[in-house]
């Protein structure tokens, strides 16, 4: 591809993220304008842009489906009720509230994608924070940190982890035995930082719980049917792709959304029009545009050119290469959503290990089902940890972050890039350091 097109693509990409960092434009507007500039300059044709969005249909379908499901059940007041119960459980203590968020989010994120978990749980945070008298923005940020980190507990907990694991033919059980402990360590880092990172909330005391509102669940029969739909979705999230005829999580989420809309319509708790109007279209459009921006870098050869840089930087020493790659991917993932990042980086890393003579060219085949040489696996493990934990660094680092920002806006507040950065950078650095220690001792020494 012509050099000028690669240069323009890179300039547009960088400019979009400068706008995000400086907050001169709303994140959706910035990404939208960047994607349109690529089309206007003919770097990307409209069909090509749509095709890159289409390649990410699974992510977008999953997000849309869960958004519709969550919105469909809002009239039952179940989220307000659960928020009140969490406040009661905390007994007015901020430390218990923070630990409760960690305890609730962690197991769910072990089996559901982190962005999905944030979609389900984030609506609980603002009313709960208002009841206890604290700012809900730090609580949403904490939930995002936990969701992103807990995604490392299983191979299906984070889309980026699944993409890398699938690329190296890693089984669910193999992941549990080798990598889950690293995810638990990442959660431990967050827990250890709670008293310092969220000091004001940690020390919060509230003794007037009797005066707090205690909302009741409405439309209980509808809610029971909704619970059955939700259980159906969760079960098939876990087993859908293992069925004789595989069903993707996106398909399951969309089916759940359709059933939820039908339930809301026939029970008359809300109209389909109102539900669809309240879907977070801003977040969905942002992701579409980001996939177009990443697609332009792939089409023009910018991403492919990085393979040569990787070979020079990493060399042939797997031990040092793994640690370098961990921090390298972590830093990049803090500004580039990790899903498109790992999609682009997996083939580059495969090509790298072939080029330096660490693996045969057979691993490059799309239908390769064999085992990778054990000595190169730490590189892919480092990519998993780096891509997932790096997402905690900035507001645009992971899909869950953007989802949380959308929820905050729906409740009248905005999670600014600078606000997230203040919390995210120390968390990301400490987690990457902890992951480096784990990889070194688990895979490189012993």
Which stretch, 79-88, 209-218, 307-316, 414-423, has highest mean pLDDT? 414-423
Residue 174 has pLDDT above 60, yes or no: yes
211 found inside a domain: yes
Domain that holds residue 186: 59-160+180-280
36 found inside a domain: no
Question: What is the tens place of the pLDDT at every residue in 284-331?
Answer: 888 888 888 888 887 887 766 766 677 777 777 888 889 998 998 999
Average pLDDT over residues 404-420: 87
Residue 188 has pLDDT above 90, yes or no: yes
Residue 83 has pLDDT above 70, yes or no: no
205 found inside a domain: yes
359 found inside a domain: no
Question: What is the tens place of the pLDDT at every residue in 227-250?
Answer: 899 888 878 876 776 778 888 778
Question: What is the tens place of the pLDDT at every residue in 9-61?
Answer: 989 988 887 887 676 888 789 889 999 999 999 998 999 999 888 877 877 88
Average pLDDT over residues 426-445: 93
The angle at the Cα of 253, spanning 414 to 346, to the nearest 5 degrees, equals 80
Contact 230, 256 (CB under 8 A): yes
Q: What pLDDT is stored for residue 317 in this prediction?
A: 81
* Phi and psi at residue 415, to the nearest 5°: -85, 105
426 found inside a domain: no
Spatial neighbors of 411 by CB under 8 A, at least 6 apart, are 126, 136
Helix%, strand%, coil% for the chain, nearest 5? 75, 0, 20
Total domains, the chain: 1
Contact 189, 427 (CB under 8 A): yes
129 found inside a domain: yes
291 found inside a domain: no
pTM (two decimals): 0.74
CA distance 188 to 168: 27
Average pLDDT over residues 87-95: 73
Q: What pLDDT is stored for residue 424 in this prediction?
A: 94
Q: What pLDDT is stored for residue 2 in this prediction?
A: 55
What is the residue-averaged pLDDT of the chain?
83
Q: pLDDT higher for 116 or 363?
A: 363
99 found inside a domain: yes
3 state SS of 113? coil
Bridge partners for 93 per DSSP: 205
């Amino acid at each position: 591809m012509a050099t000028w097109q690669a240069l323009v693509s890179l300039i547009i990409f960088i400019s979009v993220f400068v706008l995000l960092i400086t907050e001169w434009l709303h994140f959706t507007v910035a990404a939208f304008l960047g994607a349109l500039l690529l089309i206007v300059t003919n770097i990307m044709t409209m069909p090509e842009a749509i095709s890159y969005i289409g390649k990410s249909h699974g992510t977008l379908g999953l997000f849309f489906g869960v958004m519709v499901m969550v919105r469909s059940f809002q009239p039952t007041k179940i989220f307000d009720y659960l928020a009140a119960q969490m406040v009661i459980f905390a007994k007015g203590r901020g430390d218990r509230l923070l630990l409760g968020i960690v305890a609730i989010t962690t197991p769910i994120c072990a089996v559901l994608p982190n962005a999905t978990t944030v979609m389900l749980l984030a609506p609980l945070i603002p009313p709960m924070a208002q009841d206890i008298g604290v700012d809900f923005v730090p609580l949403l940020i904490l939930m995002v940190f936990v969701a992103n980190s807990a995604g490392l507990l299983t191979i299906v907990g984070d889309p980026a982890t699944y993409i890398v694991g699938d690329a190296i033919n890693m089984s669910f059980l193999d992941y549990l035995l080798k990598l889950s402990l690293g995810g638990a360590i990442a959660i431990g880092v967050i827990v250890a930082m709670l008293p310092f990172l969220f000091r004001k909330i940690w020390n919060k005391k509230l003794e007037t719980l009797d005066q707090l509102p205690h909302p009741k669940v409405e439309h209980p029969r509808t809610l029971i049917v909704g619970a059955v739909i939700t259980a159906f979705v969760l079960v098939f999230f876990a087993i859908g792709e293992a069925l004789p005829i595989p069903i993707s999580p996106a398909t399951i989420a969309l089916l759940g959304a359709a059933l939820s809309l039908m339930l809301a319509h026939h029970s008359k708790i809300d109209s389909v029009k109102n539900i669809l109007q309240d879907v977070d279209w801003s977040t969905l459009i942002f992701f579409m545009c980001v996939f177009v921006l990443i697609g332009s870098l792939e089409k023009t050869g910018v991403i492919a050119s990085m393979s040569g840089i990787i070979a020079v930087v990493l060399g042939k020493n797997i031990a040092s290469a793994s640690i370098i790659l961990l921090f390298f991917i972590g830093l990049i993932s803090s500004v580039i959503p990790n899903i498109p990042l790992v999609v682009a980086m997996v083939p580059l890393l495969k090509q790298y290990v072939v080029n330096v003579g660490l693996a045969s060219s057979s691993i490059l085949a799309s239908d390769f089902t064999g085992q990778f040489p054990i000595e190169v696996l730490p590189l892919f493990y480092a990519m998993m940890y780096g891509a997932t934990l790096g997402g905690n660094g900035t507001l645009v680092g992971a899909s869950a972050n953007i989802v949380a920002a959308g929820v905050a806006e729906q409740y009248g507040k905005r999670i600014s890039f600078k606000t997230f950065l203040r919390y995210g950078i120390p968390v990301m650095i400490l987690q990457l350091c902890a992951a480096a220690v784990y990889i070194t001792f688990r895979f490189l020494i012993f």
